[in-house]
Structures are given as C-alpha cells and as structure tokens.
Amino acid sequence: MNLQHLFSELLQGYTQDMAKIATYWTELSDAYSQPRRHYHNLTHLENLYHELVSVKTQVHDWEVILWSLFYHDAVYDTLKSNNEEKSAALAEKRMKSVGVSEEIVTKVVEMILATKTHVVSENQDINYFTDADLSILGKDWEVYNQYAKQVRNEYAIYPDLLYNPGRKKVLKHFLAMNQIYKTDYFTQRYEEQARLNLSRELEGDRV
C-alpha cells in the first residue's frame, strides 16, 4: 500500500488536476514528515490504514474514512490544544477546493474532531476510526513501549516535571473507562492488552 497512490486515487474521484493533487500530497507529506513527529507521522497513517482495512466491510462510508485518515493529524503542535480543529479546517478547505459534497465534508470534519475526545459516537464509522487510532495501545508491550517513547520525544520541549503528571493523567483516564474501545472488533482484539500496557507504563519509573 502506497499512501501517495491512495491519496491520488481519492482525489482523482473529483479532479484530474494532477498538479493540484501533487501539491496537496506534498503539503501532507511535509507536515507528517516534520523532524519533531516521532509518532504522528506517515508510519502512523500506514498502520491506521491497515487497521481500518480489517473492518472495511463493516464501514458505511469508506471515502469519509480515507479523507479523515489523511487529514486527522495534518496539524500537530504539542504546544497547542486545537490541533484537531485546525486539521479539520484544512481538510474542509482542501476537500471543497476539489468539489467534495457538503455532506461528505461535514462527516469528515466530525470524524476528525472525534479524535480529540475518543468518546462513543452514534456513528459507528467514527467508532471504528477512533478505535483504530487507539489500536497502538493494545499492541505487544515492545511496540507499545516504543510508541510511549516516541510520544515522549514529541513533547521533548517539556521537562519530566511537567510531562510526567500530564502523561499519568492520560493513562489513568483510559484505565478509568469501562471500555477503551467502542466496537466489538477492536475490543476483542486489543482491550485486554491495552489495559496491561497502560497499567505497566503507569507503574513504571519512566513516568
């Protein structure tokens, strides 16, 4: 699977302006390839895509999933708290520029904004998307631990004195949930291991 090819195919459903498609891809590729992005990068998009392909037959609107995939972390600044809003705004702007319907644009904006809180949605497509976005929590400990280190590196500007309490709050937030994942597929696949990983990080001396 090639992300650039996938993106190009998605946009060619609306425009044959290959220069515009190339420009939009470069914009995204450059954003996700910034040196400070140790986790929220193109590899994250590739992994997210593979997770979502596993539930493609359950998804109602695959196109909405794809637009959201590419743009959900397009803006990522660890000093700001409005990354999802800015990412959604960029997606809306780019989608409208190639003639995507208002209905689809609205759904994509809603899906991207849902990654801010990861709460249960009445829209099952959103639940699949946010579950896939959190799938890293339920991977084997070695993979999870590497992810935790990558996130720490993204917040390298903050000393441990500031970072660790915030990280602990996040870990406790997930562990306090009755259920981390909202869909049967991701719950069965990752819930148990995610709780083990979160607890292990919380109890470890790194945070």
Average pLDDT on 43-68 reads 98
Phi first, then psi: give them for residue 89, nearest 5 degrees: -65, -40
**Residue whose pair of structure tokens reads 């997930």 in the numeric block:** 174
Give tens-digit pLDDT for 101-144: 999 999 999 999 999 999 999 999 999 999 999 999 999 999 99
- Quickly count: other Cβ atoms within 10 Å of residue 81's Cβ: 9
Tell me the three state secondary structure of residue 176: helix
Query: How many Å apart are CA 20 and CA 31, to the nearest integer?
Result: 17
Please check the confidence at residue 183 and state whether its pLDDT lies above 70.
yes
pTM over 0.85: yes
Other Cβ atoms within 10 Å of 90 Cβ, number:
18
Helix residue ranges, H only, 60-123: 62-71, 83-97, 102-114
Residue 99 has pLDDT above 60, yes or no: yes
Residues 6 or more apart whose CB falls under 8 angstroms from that of 123 comprise 107, 110, 111
